[in-house]
Amino acid sequence: MPYKLLFVCLGNICRSPSAENIMNYLIEQAGWSDRIICDSAGTSSYHIGSSPDRRMSAAAATKLGIKLHGQARQFHQQDFQDFDLILAMDRANYEDILSVARTEIYDHKVRLMCEFCSRHTLKEVPDPYYGGPDGFNQVIDLLVDACEGLLTYVINQQ
């Protein structure tokens, strides 16, 4: 059975689709595509069905040369059963995810994305939505760092 990762932010149009697509890019490079599956979701319903934000896609294209694929969906209760690990972009996302669970048995599946960073010291992936291009570039830098650490972690779990 492949290991299943779910990346979660507020809108599922900036940070979590970037995390999903960057992770897939690293997984492909490492040759682990058949053993690790990625998806993303938002805690809110604001942007259900939307493509990734244009400003986020531009930063991913410029900094990494990758396209961001996906359509926003909302995080739901079933995700706790369906995924092995759920990565929250910030603490508000983390709390919102746990509040969807009606039990504590899934708490161990939920982690903060920045726990997996080794070069950056920020504890959360900042919400870039109302800021300028620097915020979107910073999201990419943080997520590359976190995704590299996460890939090592998952490979060591297998």
Q: Which residues are identified as catalytic?
A: 9, 15, 127
48 binds ligand 4NP (CB under 6 A): no
3 binds ligand 4NP (CB under 6 A): no
Going residue by residue from 8 to 27, which x/- string records binding to ligand 4NP, judged by CB under 6 A?
Answer: -xxxxxxx------------
What is the DSSP track for 7-72?
A: EEESSSSSHHHHHHHHHHHHHHHHT-TTTEEEEEEESSSTTTTPPPPHHHHHHHHHHH--------
Pick between residue 28 and residue 115 the one whose CB is nearest to ligand 4NP. 115
114 binds ligand 4NP (CB under 6 A): no
What is the separation of C-alpha 138 from the centre of its chain, rounded to a whole number of angstroms?
14
The pair of structure tokens assigned to 58 is 């531009």
20: Cβ contacts below 8 Å, ≥ 6 apart: 7, 38, 39, 40, 70
55 binds ligand 4NP (CB under 6 A): no
60 binds ligand 4NP (CB under 6 A): no
Pick between residue 79 and residue 127 the one whose CB is nearest to ligand 4NP. 127
Pick between residue 13 and residue 114 the one whose CB is nearest to ligand 4NP. 13
Nearest approach in angstroms of CB 129 to ligand 4NP is 4
| Cα–Cα separations (whole angstroms), residue 88 to 1, 31, 43, 112 | 23, 25, 10, 5
Q: Can you tell me which of 71, 129, 137, 155 binds ligand 4NP, judged by CB under 6 A?
A: 129
**Interaction site with ligand 4NP (CB under 6 A):** 9-15, 46-47, 127, 129
